Amino acid sequence: FFFLMIRRPPRSTQSRSSAASDVYKRQVPGFDMWASSIRNSASGPFSTEGPLGPNGPLGNSYFNGSLFLANDFAVHLRAMGLWAVLGPLGPLGPLGPLGPLGPLGLGSLYRTDSNGNYLDPSKKIVREVSVPFGSGTSRRYELFERYSAKYYQAHAQDKDPKTSTSSDASFMVDGSLGASGKDVICFTSQENQIVTLLIVPIMNSVQYSWTWMAYEIADFDVLVRDESGKTVAFSDVDDRAVAELNGRGMSEWIQMKVPKGRRLCAEITMRRPKNAVSRDYWFFVVPSTSALGATNVQGNHVKTWYS
């Protein structure tokens, strides 16, 4: 069990970091040339020496090394572990929003539009990068976008994978549960990989109070269905559905193996309380890549939903 809550400024003072960042980038002479030199540097973030290369946290010596075998807690930070959401394949790891692929990391080396898309110098949307991994090999990584719920829903059904917000499994959505009581966020796995889903309730600084905390923060549930409508995962400990990994507490999460090309939809609902101060949330979808799509963690918490 763990508790995670994020505070944010009131809506009246909040502005999207991507939009502000884009204004800044437009004002810097030579930004595209500078960013390109950083991206292509032999020792830069896209190089073999960077955080996504073989010597970084996703490299074999680190990811499959002795660090995660040090004790029982460390073991379960690996894929499918009891604390995997806090590990390198979760939202706090290098593949999530705070990592090098997110808005504060390598993504900042691209121009962005007001909707959170990364743009190349010709203003075409960029969805992925390729990083050299030594011995003439490379790894493909999906950039991590931050979408508003309105923009996500408007483009989730786009046929063009470059504009579709549901065409990959590497993004987050700033949402707020409306009158319907259910939001649906779909994603598509581009590889045979492990995908981590996390929902975090959000309260702004005006709403926040320690006296309210135990009673007024929304407790969201996440239920995942495949394209046939079959329930394949559920974030709460519940016998009504089968999940790869069950989370507990207000920040509910699921970590699951997803085959290449599989499209899944997460249904977000609020279990309690009905009079929650805030119905806002952040929903994270984080991929592992096929290179890290295996696990040797076993236990009653790991279940199978497909053959």
Quickly state the pLDDT bin for 303 (edges 50, 70, 90).
Answer: low
What distance in Å separates the CA atoms of residue 224 and residue 189, rounded to the nearest whole number?
Answer: 14
- pLDDT tens digit string along 164-178? 999 999 999 999 988
Residues 224 and 184: their CA atoms lie apart, in Å, by 9
* Rg over CA atoms, the chain: 19
pLDDT at 133 over 50: yes
Q: Is the pLDDT of residue 143 over 90?
A: yes
Task: Check residue 63 and give its pLDDT.
Answer: 73
Distances (CA, A) of 94 to 66, 154, 223: 19, 28, 26
Q: Which pair of structure tokens corresponds to residue 293? A: 């799509």
- Nearest C-alpha neighbor of 265 from the set 127, 166, 194, 148: 166
Phi/psi-derived region of residue 229, left when phi > 0, alpha when psi is between -120 and 50, beta in every other case: left
Tens digit of each residue's pLDDT (9 = 90 or more) over 192-224 = 999 999 999 887 544 444 444 444 677 889 999
* 208 contacts: CB under 8 Å, gap ≥ 6: 7
pTM of the full structure: 0.80
Q: What pLDDT does 219 receive?
A: 82
The helix/strand count (H/E) of the chain reads as 6, 15
Q: Which two tokens stand for residue 94?
A: 């290098």
